[in-house]
Every structure is written in structure tokens, then in C-alpha cells.
Amino acid sequence: MNEYEINEEMETTPKRESIARIILDRMSKAASFSEEISSRLNDRLTPVMMDTNEEKKDNSSKSEQEYPPLFAAMRTQLETIESSLAVMSRIIDRTEI
């Protein structure tokens, strides 16, 4: 096989998506889904929820460690999921059934 044939074969071989990109895409979908569910729960259960004067937690004091771009994106998706789960937990706590 000469150099031309090797290059031609490489160009026709479909590029595989990296495992990291696949995981990040799944995390992104999970984050979107968790936000959607928490929003739907809030909309549906608002009529049967107790009013509370809950204080907002200030998360600005936490230090943001530098991560490489891929891990920073993953951290962002995980924070979204954690936030949505916290909202769902508060909704359940406030629901009177």
C-alpha cells in the first residue's frame, strides 16, 4: 500500500465520535430532561403546594476550580442536574396531598 492509498482509505473511513463527546451529549440530554421534569412538576403541583418563604442559598462563595474544557462542560451539566433534583425535592416537600 502506498501513501496515496493509505490517505485515501483514511478519508473514506467514517470518523468515530469520541467516548467523551458521547458521554457529554448524554449528560446534556439528562440535564435538559431533569430541568423539564422539575418545571412540569412545579406547574402541575403548584395548586397543592404550601407557600413557604424559603431563603435562596448563595452559591457564589464556592470556589470554581479550573478544569479542562471537556470536564468544565461535564461539571456544568452535572450542576444543572443537581439543581433540578434539588427543585424536585423542594416541590415534594411542599406538596400537600
**Residue whose C-alpha cell is 415534594:** 92
pLDDT at 48: 94
pLDDT at 12: 62
Instruction: Classify residue 2: in a domain, yes or no.
Output: no
Predicted model pTM: 0.71
Instruction: Classify residue 11: in a domain, yes or no.
Output: no
Instruction: Classify residue 77: in a domain, yes or no.
Output: yes
Number of folded domains that form the chain = 1
Does 52 have pLDDT greater than 90? no
Q: How many Å is the Cα radius of gyration of the chain?
A: 22
Which amino acid type is present at position 42? N
Alpha carbon of 95 to those of 4, 17, 45, 79, 86: distances in Å? 68, 43, 7, 24, 14
Instruction: Classify residue 37: in a domain, yes or no.
Output: no
What mean pLDDT is predicted for residues 16-26?
92
- Domain extent at residue 91: 68-97
Instruction: Classify residue 43: in a domain, yes or no.
Output: no
